[in-house]
Amino acid sequence: MKTVTILGATGSVGSSTLDLIEREPERFEVVALTANCDVDKLAAAAIRTRARLAAVADERCLDGLRDRLAGTGIEARAGADAVCDAARMGADWTMAAIVGTAGLKPVMAALQAGGTVALANKESLVSAGDVVMAASRARGTTLLPVDSEHNAVFQCLEDGAPDRVARIILTASGGPFRTLSLDEMKAITPAQAVKHPNWSMGAKISVDSASMMNKGLELIEAFHLFPVSADQLDVIVHPQSVIHSMVEYVDGSVLAQLGAPDMRIPIAHALAWPDRMKTPCERLNLARIARLDFEAPDYERFPCLALARAALKAGGARPAILNAANEVAVAAFLAGKVGFLEIAAIVADTLSRYDPPAPETLDAVLAVDAEARRVAIERVKDCVA
């Protein structure tokens, strides 16, 4: 029996994780489930899985959660601290699937509690990679990458020799606007941006995929997870999303991990690791797919990718600023306040207006994140005015 906690249980990754563990109730026991405020979905999942605790981050949602859990014996709590406490309850395995920097403190709490942490929340590694990796090392926690590309790299590295890696090649679908001109991208609506051609995901990461900021964040994520320099990280556009990423060794061998584009595959890998488990996912039918295409990424039409690469090279506070400004810009885009192309402009301007020294502690990262958000919000106001 493996005890499991899911942070962000009501989201896309959280729901996929629940789907897998509910198929094997004799193998997994749920400790805690958390969400921001979706009390209907959270309470239903907690009742189905007989969780010990259900926690919402937003305190205004506590009454609703209590109502739905009345008489079940499941504890209901609310607030950011309650989410961190849920992460500290000592589950053998914790899925970190909160979206954005809101997931950083809960990730740190889970790492400090020990056990295995399956990391979907890439933003925590982008803004606080050094701090997060140091916490994982200090406590001896196993950190398993869930992001499909990083999970693929992890699988290609497992039996290889990490010090013999020449290059890590992250594949990118190119998103829904892969073939559009910059001019055509001006009029993109939020509804178009959240419709990913291959993957079904939350709104924020879908917009990130459309702008290719997602691949930029993933470069920074890979830099922290794997023993390579920034120059050894490459991106190749591969529209079918069948190859999830590749590792090239010094002898010229390239290992790839393939599969249907279904997040339950990398989640299952992390859930069962070092074992494997069955999933109901579609099997790869290469004869039907017939061909796999590749093209170089276009840094001009997708400036977010260039901004992220530059932030990775510069290091220090730059990735945290990039990430915070992007969260503000994507929220403004989804709210209809700014255009799609303004996302990159807001991120670029925030980076040029704010250049603090490298943050070395969690509190320092959070301070950089807060100030970068303030600067980005000012910049959004310029767009709206």
By a kind-dependent CB cut-off of 5 to 8 A, residue 36 interacts, out of ligand NAD, Mg ion, none, with ligand NAD
Residues 258-277 touching ligand NAD, rule: CB under 6 A, are 263
CB-based contacts of 236: which residues, under 8 Å, 6+ apart? 169, 170, 171, 172, 294, 295, 296, 297
**Could you tell me the smallest distance in angstroms from the CB atom of residue 5 to ligand NAD?**
13
> C-alpha angle 54/46/29, rounded to 5°?
100
* 83 makes contact with ligand NAD (CB under 6 A): yes
Contacts to Mg ion from residues 74-103, by CB under 5 A: none
Q: Among 38, 123, 147, 221, which residue sits at the site for Mg ion (rule: CB under 5 A)? A: 147
Minimum gap (Å) between residue 124 Cβ and ligand NAD: 8
Residue 237 makes CB contacts below 8 A (sequence gap 6+) with: 171, 172, 173, 174, 178, 294, 295, 296, 297
Residues for the chain: how many in total? 385
Q: Which stretch binds Mg ion (CB under 5 A): 72-80, 143-151, 172-180, 273-281?
A: 143-151
Residue 121 CB, shortest distance to ligand NAD, in Å, is 4
Per-residue tokens: 90? 């000592």
Q: Which of residues 148-187 bind Mg ion (CB under 5 A)?
A: 148-149
Q: Residue 105 has which token pair?
A: 């403190």
Check binding of 97 to ligand NAD (CB under 6 A): yes
Region at 174 (left for phi over 0; alpha for psi -120 to 50; beta for the rest): left
Please give the residues from 1 up to 60 whose contact with ligand NAD meets the rule CB under 6 A: 8-14, 35-36, 38, 57
Cis status of the peptide bond prior to 266, with omega within 30 of 0: no
From the centroid of its chain, how far is CA 127?
12
The span from the CA of 326 to the CA of 143, in Å, is 25
Instruction: Judge whether 2 is annotated as a binding position.
Output: no
Q: Which is nearer to ligand NAD, 11 or 359 (CB)?
A: 11
Site for ligand NAD in 124-183 (CB under 6 A): 147
Stretch that binds ligand NAD, among 62-70, 116-124, 175-183, 327-335 (CB under 6 A): 116-124
With CB under 5 to 8 Å by kind, the binding choice for 279 among Mg ion, ligand NAD, none is none
Residue 12 annotated in ligand binding: yes
| Min separation Cβ 19 and ligand NAD, Å | 13
The answer on whether 202 is annotated among ligand-binding residues is yes
Are 102 and 122 in contact by the 8 Å Cβ rule? The answer is no
Where does the chain have alpha helices with state H?
12-23, 39-49, 62-69, 80-87, 104-113, 122-139, 148-158, 182-185, 190-193, 203-211, 213-225, 264-272, 286-289, 303-314, 318-334, 342-353, 362-384
Directed axis angle between helix 264-272 and helix 12-23, to 10°? 60
Residue 82 within binding range of ligand NAD, rule CB under 6 A: no
Give the binding site for Mg ion (CB under 5 A).
Answer: 147-149
Binding-site members are 10-13, 121-123, 147-149, 173, 196, 202, 209, 214-215, 218
Give the binding site for ligand NAD (CB under 6 A).
Answer: 8-14, 35-36, 38, 57, 83, 97-99, 102, 120-123, 147, 199, 201-202, 204-205, 263
